[in-house]
Amino acid sequence: MDSYCELKALPNPEIIQSAVVSALMQALHSLLPTYGGRIGLAFPAYGQQHTLGGIIRILGKKVDIDAFHSVLANHSVIRDYALLTPVRGIPEGISKHSCYSRKQPKGNSRYQRQKKRHLERGTWSEALEQAIHAQISKPLHLPHVGLKSSSNGQSFLLFIERHNKAKAVDGQFNSYGLALDKATVPEF
């Protein structure tokens, strides 16, 4: 990674900032697969008021970021809801790196699979049932965005977890710009 640009959510009196960021993430999700996992996202204001904040930083190699910047500049959602900054070089001497990854809540299907496995083994008990139920019923307290699946039209929450790392880790990013294989992005 050597370059980046940023999307800064424009203030809108009719829409809260987290809804604007959700719309921007939905637009990015439709565009990122073209770049084959070479572009990652960072959220410089991650955690402010329990949200991702109003800035989405887009990072990658200069050739990819330049091409992506041109696509973003012509995208109607990006033009309507965000300020797109020029492409810049990543500053030298960065010592902080973060891994942004998707965190999926554990739901009822996980409970049913575990119950079935334990019943087959003969290890199912009331105490185990309560422990598993307590584990899966814990709500995730992570910043998230609301998205809509293009394949089935269902709405869902994309929870994003950040882990700070001492060293950079090269790797790929998914179609949300989040880490696969613990890939990191520089923090500055």
Whole-number average pLDDT of the chain: 92
**Domain ranges in the chain?**
3-103+160-186
CB 57, CB 114: distance < 8 Å: no
Tell me, what's the pLDDT at 153?
A: 85
Say whether pLDDT at 1 is over 80. Answer: yes
Confidence of residue 137 (pLDDT cuts 50, 70, 90): low
pLDDT of 82 reads 97
Q: How confident is the model at residue 177 (pLDDT cuts 50, 70, 90)?
A: very high
As given in the structure block, the two tokens for residue 132 are: 């598993």
More confident residue, 34 or 136: 34
The pLDDT, as a whole number, for residue 86 is: 98
Give the per-residue pLDDT at 113: 82
pLDDT at 27: 97
Q: Inform me whether the pLDDT recorded for 184 exceeds 90.
A: yes
Using a pLDDT cut of 70, give the percent of the chain over it. 96
Over residues 123-134, the pLDDT tens digits come to 888 888 888 777
Contact 177, 40 (CB under 8 A): yes
pLDDT, position 109: 73
Enter the tokens of residue 14. 């009719």
Residue 149 phi/psi, 5-degree rounding, is -70, 130
Position of tokens 């959602």? 77
Quick one: which of 135, 139, 136, 179 has its CA closest to 161?
179
The DSSP element (H or E) to which 40 belongs, if any, is: strand 40-42
- β-strand partners of 160: 102
CB-based contact 169:177 (threshold 8 Å):
no
Stretch 147-174: mean pLDDT, rounded?
93
Query: Could you say which of 3.30.70.2540, 3.40.50.300, 3.40.120.10, 3.40.47.10 is the CATH number of the domain covering 3-103+160-186?
Result: 3.30.70.2540
Q: What is the pLDDT, as a whole number, of residue 12? A: 86
107, pLDDT greater than 90: no
Q: How far is residue 2's CA from residue 63's CA, in Å, rounded to a whole number? A: 10
Please report the pLDDT score of residue 140 as a whole number.
Answer: 75
Look up residue 113 and give its two tokens. Answer: 């699979």
Instruction: Name, in order, each residue with C-beta under 8 angstroms of 21's C-beta and a sequence gap of 6 or more.
Output: 9, 51, 52, 53, 54, 56, 145
Condensed to tens digits (0 to 9), the pLDDT of residues 52-105 reads: 999 999 999 999 999 999 999 999 999 999 999 999 999 999 999 999 999 987
Residue 114 pLDDT: 81
